[in-house]
């Protein structure tokens, strides 16, 4: 759809277009705004507008912007269609009212009062009593009404009723039968409430007579609008009164609440009153109402007749879910006092333990305790067993010894030894162990165990390479070159290859060429130099072809560094006092292990940091030199358990060969307690590394203490 706007309309729409561009692309663009304006003035269609805008922004945003622009243009065209005459008339009327108000302000108070009096005399009906103005200085309506007689007051009320009736007719002519009925009902209520005695009516009834205008005066549009709203309000009040929601009573205040025996609301005649129930509209009130209904269902207040459903068995008694009320639980007297006493005792115990640990650290008892804890976990391998496993085959079992004891007792009934003495004599621990030998297990056969291959022995036999001396290498090179030269000469002699050019140099130029060099020495020298450059280029090209690339050089270095660990893995365990605050040392430990292609693990624990490395012998030699010589540990100061500064140190705890690797790429791990550290090493099956390193740290700490 194409819309063509004038330049003035586009200018009016310019701010809206700028906002649409800003919302679409996130910024203002003057060139894009001018393009869109030109498209609207030219009357382009949507597709053509998108094509024009696509040169400034992407096509997807251009499509969105075109839709917004066309919507704004359509809205402008539709808003311009309604007639403007009524609007102009309203403007002129407002101007006239403002002008009249402005003129009234400049009039004097006396002139205005005289004019009002003249108008009142001209428009006053014949039967209307003239009453002085109520707002005169120093007077009130009550003081003016005090001098009136009862007849005048009755006449005044009759005039007020006539005025009301005239207003009713005007409203009926404007609003129709519906509003007329509402006004009639209101008038009847007013008549019923008017006093019939000679008492003075309230000022609210007198005011319409004093300040109202007669019906013969032409009514303006504003007054008609006000009267229409008043009539609508009266009709609405009448509908509410007819519905019974609001019952007018003579008493001031709310109507009394009357309930019957069943608790329902009734009126004075005993009829049931249907109160208006307002449904909640807010989400919070709706949720609250649903919660109340759910609680009512749980408590059994709302029960639906379930007997009518087809799936309900009438023989089974249905019980609604009932929530059991929780009873009150009281605390025993003195409970919180006991808890406070427990906390105090715990604090005193911790304080006492800290004091004991400090004293034990000073005396060296703590070091012995830690070593005892370590030794309790490690099995006692130095203890000599009573019986070796290979001897247990030829010794009798406990059942066999019991049988032998019974036989000996039957065979020698005169034996006076007690039962305990006989058992001790038959036990393995007895000095005469020959009696406990199982003779049936001894034969004349000799067992030859199978010979196992050592784990470090290679599968294929290795041979030592033969190394030649320097003299032998030169002789071998000379012989191989002579054989190659002879083969080349043979090919030239047979005509298979062209004879090589003479190898010319500046030094042998005259000797090789002779007369040719004398005839044209400049050309010959240039030819010789060209041949020399050619030979040099050939040599350099050959060297370049043999040179390795960066990847090949890196692979060659890696091949030199990597070692075969299939026959055995060399392991080294280092202990460092503190690695937490040594950033440079941590960097060297990690980077050198990665560069040497070593695996391992670094455990960080206060007072004992363990570094485990796995690799080949050459790799370990380089890494050992790094840890013990290259890194200056003593130059770095660390804090001990008491907070004092001491020099750092690194020790080689153990090095050896294992069958396989226990760790992957080197990583750092922080463990706050000794138990967690040992569990971590135990997870990899090398908890003895931690035991060795930590026992050494404990002994060093004990030796350093005074």
The mean per-residue pLDDT over the stretch 127-147 comes to: 43
Which of 101-115, 210-224, 473-487 shows the lowest mean pLDDT across its residues?
101-115
At residue 689, does pLDDT exceed 80? yes
At residue 491, does pLDDT exceed 80? yes
CA 323 to chain centroid, in Å, comes to 39
* 3-class SS string, 30-72: HHHHHHHHHHHHHCCCHHHHHHHHCCCCCHHHHHHHHHHHHHH
Q: Are 291 and 283 contacting, i.e. CB atoms less than 8 angstroms apart?
A: no
- List Cα–Cα distances, 47 to 24, 50, 51, 128, 164, in angstroms: 18, 5, 6, 78, 68
- Look at residue 95 in the predicted model and tell me its pLDDT: 63
> What are residue 614's phi and psi, to 5 degrees?
-130, 135
Other CB atoms within a 10 A radius of the CB of residue 596 amount to 19
- Look at residue 369 in the predicted model and tell me its pLDDT: 61
Which helix H or strand E contains 615, and what residues bound it?
A: strand 609-615
- Look at residue 134 in the predicted model and tell me its pLDDT: 41
* Rounded-to-integer distance, Cα 199 and Cα 147, Å: 13
Residue 249 CB-density burial (10 A; 0-12 exposed, 13-18 middle, 19+ buried): exposed
Which of 102-111, 124-133, 632-641, 692-701 shows the lowest mean pLDDT across its residues?
124-133
Nearest in space to 31 (alpha carbons), one of 52, 50, 46 = 52
The mean per-residue pLDDT over the stretch 609-619 comes to: 94
For the chain, give the number of residues: 706
- Ranges 157-166, 203-212, 254-263, 692-701, most confident: 692-701
The mean per-residue pLDDT over the stretch 13-40 comes to: 82
Q: What is the 8-class DSSP label of residue 415? A: -
* Rounded-to-integer distance, Cα 43 and Cα 488, Å: 92
Which of 187-191, 399-403, 551-555 shows the lowest mean pLDDT across its residues?
187-191
* Rounded-to-integer distance, Cα 291 and Cα 311, Å: 28
Higher-confidence residue of 703 and 292: namely: 292
Where does 320-388 have alpha helices with state H? 335-363, 365-377
What is the SS3 assignment for 622? helix
246: left (phi over 0), alpha (psi -120 to 50) or beta: beta
* Rounded-to-integer distance, Cα 254 and Cα 248, Å: 10
- Ranges 402-406, 449-453, 682-686, most confident: 682-686
Higher-confidence residue of 30 and 557: namely: 557
Q: What is the DSSP string of 146-202?
A: TT--HHHHHHHHHHHHHHHHHHHHHHHHHH-HHHHHHHHHHHHHHHHHS--SSSPPP
Residue 144 pLDDT class (50, 70, 90 cuts): very low
Nearest in space to 13 (alpha carbons), one of 25, 1, 4 = 4
* Rounded-to-integer distance, Cα 662 and Cα 129, Å: 123
CA angle (687, 594, 592) in 5-degree steps: 95
At residue 456, does pLDDT exceed 90? no
Chain segment 297-351, per-residue pLDDT in tens = 877 644 444 445 566 677 776 666 677 777 888 888 999 999 999 999 999 999 9
Residue 202 pLDDT class (50, 70, 90 cuts): very low
Alpha carbon dihedral 671, 677, 680, 684, in 10-degree steps, equals: 130
- List Cα–Cα distances, 122 to 114, 216, 391, in angstroms: 13, 12, 151
- Look at residue 135 in the predicted model and tell me its pLDDT: 43
* Rounded-to-integer distance, Cα 570 and Cα 247, Å: 106
- Look at residue 84 in the predicted model and tell me its pLDDT: 46
Nearest in space to 583 (alpha carbons), one of 638, 620, 541, 658 = 638
* Rounded-to-integer distance, Cα 49 and Cα 62, Å: 8
Residue 114 pLDDT class (50, 70, 90 cuts): low
* Rounded-to-integer distance, Cα 186 and Cα 493, Å: 147
- Look at residue 96 in the predicted model and tell me its pLDDT: 62
- Look at residue 176 in the predicted model and tell me its pLDDT: 57
Strand bridging mode 637-639 / 609-615: unpaired
Nearest in space to 323 (alpha carbons), one of 359, 365, 290, 294 = 294
* 3-class SS string, 238-278: HHHHHHCCCCCCCCCCCCCCEECCCCCEECCCCCECCCCCC
Residue 204 pLDDT class (50, 70, 90 cuts): very low
Residue 530 pLDDT class (50, 70, 90 cuts): very high
Residue 153 pLDDT class (50, 70, 90 cuts): confident
At residue 651, does pLDDT exceed 90? yes
Which of 25-29, 99-103, 468-472, 637-641 shows the lowest mean pLDDT across its residues?
99-103
Strand bridging mode 599-604 / 668-670: parallel
Q: What is the DSSP string of 557-579?
A: HHHHH----SS-EEEEEEEES--
- Look at residue 254 in the predicted model and tell me its pLDDT: 66
Q: Are 601 and 670 contacting, i.e. CB atoms less than 8 angstroms apart?
A: no
Residues β-bridged to residue 655: 572
* Rounded-to-integer distance, Cα 88 and Cα 94, Å: 10
**Sheet with 569-576, side-by-side order of all strands:** 650-658, 569-576, 609-615, 599-604, 668-670
- Look at residue 225 in the predicted model and tell me its pLDDT: 83
- Look at residue 417 in the predicted model and tell me its pLDDT: 58
Residue 80 pLDDT class (50, 70, 90 cuts): low
**Model pTM above 0.75:** no
At residue 132, does pLDDT exceed 50? no
Q: Are 663 and 611 contacting, i.e. CB atoms less than 8 angstroms apart?
A: no
* Rounded-to-integer distance, Cα 118 and Cα 471, Å: 153
What is the SS3 assignment for 602? strand
* Rounded-to-integer distance, Cα 36 and Cα 28, Å: 13
CA 57 to chain centroid, in Å, comes to 35
The mean per-residue pLDDT over the stretch 44-70 comes to: 82
Nearest in space to 229 (alpha carbons), one of 173, 161, 175 = 175
Q: How far apart are the first and last CA of the chain?
A: 100
Q: Rounded mean pLDDT of the chain?
A: 76
Q: Are 698 and 365 contacting, i.e. CB atoms less than 8 angstroms apart?
A: no
* Rounded-to-integer distance, Cα 646 and Cα 656, Å: 31
With a pLDDT cut of 70, the percent of the chain lying above it is 70
Which of 71-80, 327-336, 363-372, 694-703 shows the lowest mean pLDDT across its residues?
363-372
Q: Are 396 and 436 contacting, i.e. CB atoms less than 8 angstroms apart?
A: yes
């Amino acid at each position: 759809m194409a819309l063509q706007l004038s330049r003035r309309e586009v200018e009016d729409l310019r701010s809206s277009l700028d906002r649409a561009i800003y919302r679409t692309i996130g910024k203002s663009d003057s060139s894009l705004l001018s393009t869109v304006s030109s498209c609207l003035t030219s009357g382009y269609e949507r597709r053509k507008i998108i094509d024009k805008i696509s040169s400034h922004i992407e096509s997807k945003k251009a499509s969105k912007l075109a839709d917004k622009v066309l919507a704004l243009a359509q809205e402008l065209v539709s808003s311009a269609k309604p007639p403007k005459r009524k609007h102009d008339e309203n403007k002129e009327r407002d101007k006239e009212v403002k002008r009249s108000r402005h003129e009234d302000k400049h009039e004097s108070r006396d002139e205005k009062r005289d004019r009002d009096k003249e108008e009142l005399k001209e428009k006053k009906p014949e039967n209307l009593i003239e009453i002085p103005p109520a707002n005169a200085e120093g007077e009130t309506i009550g003081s003016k009404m005090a001098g009136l007689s009862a007849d005048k007051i009755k006449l005044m009320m009759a005039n007020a009723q006539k005025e009301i009736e005239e207003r009713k007719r005007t409203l009926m002519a404007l609003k129709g039968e519906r509003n007329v009925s509402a006004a009639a009902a209101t008038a009847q209520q007013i008549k019923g409430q008017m006093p019939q005695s000679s008492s003075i009516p309230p000022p609210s009834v007198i005011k319409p007579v004093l300040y109202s205008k007669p019906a013969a005066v032409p009514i303006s549009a504003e007054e008609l609008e006000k009267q229409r709203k008043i009539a609508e309000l009266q009709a609405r009040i009448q509908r509410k009164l007819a519905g019974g929601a609001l019952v007018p009573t003579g008493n001031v205040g709310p109507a009394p609440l009357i309930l019957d025996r069943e608790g329902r609301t009734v009126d004075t005649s005993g009829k049931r009153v249907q109160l208006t129930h307002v449904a909640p509209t807010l989400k919070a009130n709706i949720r609250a109402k649903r919660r109340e209904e759910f609680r009512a269902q749980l408590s059994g207040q709302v029960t639906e007749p379930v007997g009518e459903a087809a799936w309900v068995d009438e023989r089974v008694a249905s019980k609604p879910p009932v929530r059991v009320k929780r009873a009150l639980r009281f605390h025993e007297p003195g409970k919180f006092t006991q808890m406070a006493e427990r906390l105090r005792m715990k604090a005193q115990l911790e304080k006492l333990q800290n004091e004991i640990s400090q004293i034990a650290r000073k005396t060296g008892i703590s070091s012995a305790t830690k070593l005892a804890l370590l030794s309790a976990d490690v099995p006692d391998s130095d203890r000599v067993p009573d019986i070796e496993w290979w001897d247990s085959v030829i010794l009798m079992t406990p059942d066999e010894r019991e049988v032998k004891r019974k036989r000996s007792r039957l065979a020698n009934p005169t034996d006076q030894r007690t039962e305990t003495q006989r058992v001790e004599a038959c036990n393995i621990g007895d000095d005469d162990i020959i009696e406990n030998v199982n003779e049936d297990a001894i034969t004349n056969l000799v067992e030859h165990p199978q010979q196992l291959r050592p784990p470090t022995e290679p599968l294929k036999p290795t041979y030592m390479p033969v190394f030649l001396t320097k003299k032998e290498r030169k002789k071998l090179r000379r012989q191989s070159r002579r054989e190659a030269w002879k083969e080349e000469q043979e090919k030239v002699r047979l005509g298979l290859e062209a004879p090589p050019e003479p190898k010319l140099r500046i030094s042998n130029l005259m000797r090789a060429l002779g007369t040719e060099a004398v005839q044209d020495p400049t050309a010959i020298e240039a030819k010789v130099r060209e041949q020399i450059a050619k030979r040099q280029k050939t040599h350099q090209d050959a060297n370049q072809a043999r040179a390795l690339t960066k990847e090949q050089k890196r692979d060659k270095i890696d091949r030199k560094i990597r070692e075969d660990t299939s026959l055995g893995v060399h392991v080294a365990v280092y202990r460092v006092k503190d690695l937490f605050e040594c950033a440079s040392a941590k960097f060297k430990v990690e980077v050198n292990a990665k560069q040497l292609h070593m695996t391992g693990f670094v455990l960080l624990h206060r007072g004992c940091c363990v570094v485990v490395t796995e690799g080949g012998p050459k790799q370990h030699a380089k890494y050992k030199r790094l840890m013990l010589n290259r890194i200056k540990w003593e130059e770095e100061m660390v804090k001990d358990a008491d907070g004092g500064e001491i020099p750092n140190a690194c020790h080689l705890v153990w090095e050896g060969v294992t069958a396989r690797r226990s760790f992957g790429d080197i990583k750092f791990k922080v463990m706050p307690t000794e138990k967690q550290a040992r569990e971590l090493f135990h997870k990899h099956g090398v908890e003895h590394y931690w035991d060795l390193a930590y026992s050494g740290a404990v002994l060093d700490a004990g030796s350093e203490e005074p």
